[in-house]
């Protein structure tokens, strides 16, 4: 009854309306990345996006609905930002390139902000179950290419047959999230780099001698 809004209305959406909606989500995403979802007021969002209250409530049922839209938006943005590296995680070299891109992106943000998805997850996972569901989906979607790449490696013989791609992928995502959290806390990308290096070293230790 909440997401119905965004589904039904999607059909009756003018180009202008879609643009307005997008502007709201983009502005909200930026603010929520900096301050968190709870600390971001709707008035802030309106000011930043140059819209009015009635517009916001025309496109979103309530603040939680907007928050879910922001979660989805950030998940998409992350995947977009990490391409094409995200689709080439079927080798140690590919993993290294992905790592480099992530660390560089974190450094580019002046070490501020942490993970756009992880920060929201941390704040929202304990609340509304519907939102938690969206978060789970988004993490799964992000993790999928990694799991796929590792599966390719194992099936190709680059990794030991005992290697569990699903477990590996989940552990690597955990290292990434934790690294980003510590990086945000210390205002340094060092923890992130170390966490990812460890994760990749672990994959390396599972690699077979024959590079297939």
In the complex, which residues of this chain contact DNA (CB under 7 A)? 9, 12-18, 20, 40-43, 51-55, 57-58, 62-64
Identify which of residues 76 and 185 has a Cβ nearer to its own copies in the complex. 185
Map tokens 């510590």 to a residue.
182
Residues near 50 by beta carbon (within 8 Å), at least 6 away in sequence: 23
Question: In whole angstroms, how close is the CB of 180 to its own copies at the nearest point?
Answer: 8
Residue pair 25/74 in contact (Cβ under 8 Å)? The answer is no
Measured in residues, the chain has a length of 212
Residue 80's binding partner, choosing from its own copies, DNA, none, with beta-carbon cut-off 5 to 8 A by kind? none
Residue 13's binding partner, choosing from its own copies, DNA, none, with beta-carbon cut-off 5 to 8 A by kind? DNA
Identify which of residues 22 and 171 has a Cβ nearer to its own copies in the complex. 171
Buried b (16+ CB within 10 A) or exposed e, 177-191: bebbbbbbeeeebeb
- Tell me: does residue 184 bind its own copies (CB under 8 A): yes
Identify which of residues 77 and 109 has a Cβ nearer to its own copies in the complex. 109
Whole-number Cα distances in Å, 53 to 5, 116, 210: 17, 25, 62
Out of 125, 155, 156, 211, name the contact with its own copies by CB under 8 A: 125
């Amino acid at each position: 009854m909440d997401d119905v809004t965004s589904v039904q209305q999607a059909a009756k959406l003018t180009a202008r309306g879609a643009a307005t909606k997008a502007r709201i989500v983009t502005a909200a995403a930026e603010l929520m990345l900096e301050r968190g979802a709870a600390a971001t007021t709707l008035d802030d969002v309106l000011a930043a996006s140059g819209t009015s209250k009635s517009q916001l409530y025309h496109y979103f049922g309530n603040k939680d609905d907007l928050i879910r839209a922001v979660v989805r938006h950030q998940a998409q943005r992350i995947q977009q930002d990490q391409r094409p590296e995200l689709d080439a995680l079927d080798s140690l070299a590919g993993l290294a390139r992905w790592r480099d891109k992530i660390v560089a992106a974190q450094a580019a943000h002046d070490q501020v902000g942490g993970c756009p998805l992880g920060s929201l997850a941390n704040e929202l996972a304990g609340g509304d179950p519907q939102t938690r569901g969206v978060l789970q989906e988004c993490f799964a979607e992000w993790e999928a290419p990694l799991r796929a790449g590792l599966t390719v490696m194992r099936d190709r013989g680059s990794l030991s047959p005992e290697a569990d791609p699903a477990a590996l992928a989940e552990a690597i995502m955990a290292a990434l999230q934790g690294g980003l959290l510590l990086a945000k806390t210390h205002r340094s990308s060092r923890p992130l780099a170390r966490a990812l290096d460890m994760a990749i070293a672990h994959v390396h230790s599972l690699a077979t001698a024959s590079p297939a």
